[in-house]
């Protein structure tokens, strides 16, 4: 039994390490700074964000992700800065990423701006092999990793207006092998490439519609494509659906509680065979913003 469990967890961690890579978010459109540093300061407000994701509920060792971030423009300059923390737990692994972002924005027309961003990340990785139940606990190939530190750097561009955006980013340029002192790499961080785009249509005075796209490419894994469609009513209530190609169908809702506070929830239903072993994934977030205009939001942004 222990041998079967050991190989199952090894397989699970390998799949998570090589396929999912960066922490996965269904509501990435509200959490853009985690994948594109050029987003820092683009909302024109001090933006504080917190999210919790519980993936594949009911499956032992399934990913659990928590993230907190803050970003803001610097006074009346073209510079934006951001700081974020992501904690990602998968099976016996526990990874913390602390990132600092800086962006520079230039106007390209009366309505469009182009932002360039750089991300610096400190990654702290832990592996508890006791959760793997190895038959030979003294095997040097299966030892704990405690606070294994690795730095990284990323970059991105973000072209945006009040009702549209397109972004291209690589959050981490440096590939990192985990647990390879004995030529055994149980976990390997590979380069993730992101392309995202969205457009907001004003269907009526009280109704907005935003289709959006996110693609992620990782070496050795299938191309991941997320498409979503969100409707905003009265600049207050948002409802939408999303489809992750050959992976999941999602439902999303959000509510603008005050001018500065927005809360959202998302649910993923797997479309793969994995759906037989879990009851879906849950994601909830809270965003709080302080605006320059006497604390009031002037034009609600749908992204």
The dihedral over CA atoms of 150, 151, 153, 154, expressed in degrees to the nearest 10, equals 40
- Name the pLDDT band for 8 (thresholds 50, 70, 90): very low
Q: Check whether 141 has a pLDDT greater than 70.
A: no
Per-residue pLDDT, 217: 92
Q: Which residue do the tokens 């207006």 mark?
A: 161
- Name the pLDDT band for 246 (thresholds 50, 70, 90): confident
Q: Check whether 48 has a pLDDT greater than 70.
A: yes
Tell which wins on pLDDT, 254 or 15: 254
Least-confidence region, from 41-55, 133-147, 240-254, 284-298:
133-147
Four-residue CA torsion sign, 167, 269, 93, 287? positive
Tell which wins on pLDDT, 39 or 274: 39
Q: What is the DSSP string of 140-171?
A: TTS--EEEEEEEEEEEEEEEE-SSEEEEEEES
Give mean pLDDT, residues 115-122. 97
Give mean pLDDT, residues 182-199. 78
Complete domains list, the chain, with CATH: 31-290 (2.40.160.40)
Averaged pLDDT of the chain: 85
Give mean pLDDT, residues 152-177. 93
| Mode of pairing for the β-strands spanning 45-54 and 164-170 | unpaired
- Name the pLDDT band for 148 (thresholds 50, 70, 90): confident
Contact 149, 131 (CB under 8 A): no
Per-residue pLDDT, 299: 55
The continuous run of DSSP H or E covering 14 comes out as helix 2-15
The continuous run of DSSP H or E covering 3 comes out as helix 2-15
**Nearest partner of 221 among 242, 245, 198, judged by Cα:** 245
Tell which wins on pLDDT, 5 or 51: 51
- Name the pLDDT band for 39 (thresholds 50, 70, 90): very high
Q: Check whether 298 has a pLDDT greater than 70.
A: no
Give mean pLDDT, residues 133-140. 59
Contact 285, 27 (CB under 8 A): yes
Q: What is the DSSP string of 59-108?
A: STT--EEEEEEEEEE-TTSSEEEEEEEEEEEETTEEEEEEEEEEEEEEES
Reduced to 3 states, what is the DSSP secondary structure of residue 10? helix
């Amino acid at each position: 039994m222990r041998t079967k469990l050991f190989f199952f967890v090894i397989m699970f961690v390998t799949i998570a390490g090589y396929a999912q890579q960066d922490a996965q978010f269904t509501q990435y459109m509200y959490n853009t700074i985690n994948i594109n540093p050029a987003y820092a300061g683009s909302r024109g407000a001090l933006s504080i964000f917190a999210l919790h994701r519980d993936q594949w509920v009911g499956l032992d060792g399934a990913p659990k992700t928590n993230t907190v971030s803050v970003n803001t423009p610097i006074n009346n300059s073209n510079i934006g800065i951001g700081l974020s923390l992501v904690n990602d737990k998968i099976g016996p692994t526990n990874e913390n990423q602390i990132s600092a972002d800086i962006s520079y924005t230039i106007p390209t027309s009366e309505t469009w701006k182009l932002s360039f961003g750089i991300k610096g990340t400190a990654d702290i990785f832990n592996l508890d092999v006791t959760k793997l139940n190895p038959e030979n606990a003294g095997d040097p190939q299966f030892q704990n990793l405690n606070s294994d530190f690795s730095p990284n750097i990323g970059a991105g561009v973000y072209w945006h207006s009040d009702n549209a955006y397109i972004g291209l980013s690589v959050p981490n340029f440096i590939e990192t092998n985990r647990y390879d002192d004995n030529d055994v790499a149980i976990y390997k961080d590979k380069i993730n490439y992101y392309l995202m785009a969205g457009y907001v249509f004003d269907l009526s005075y009280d109704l907005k519609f935003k289709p959006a796209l996110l693609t992620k490419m990782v070496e050795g894994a299938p191309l991941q494509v997320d498409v979503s469609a969100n409707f905003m009513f009265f600049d207050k209530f948002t409802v939408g659906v999303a489809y992750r190609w050959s992976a999941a169908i999602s439902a999303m809702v959000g509510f603008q509680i005050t001018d500065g506070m927005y809360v959202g929830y998302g649910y993923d239903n797997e479309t793969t065979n994995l759906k037989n072993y879990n009851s879906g994934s849950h994601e909830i977030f809270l965003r709080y913003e302080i605006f320059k205009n006497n604390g009031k939001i002037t034009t609600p942004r749908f992204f």
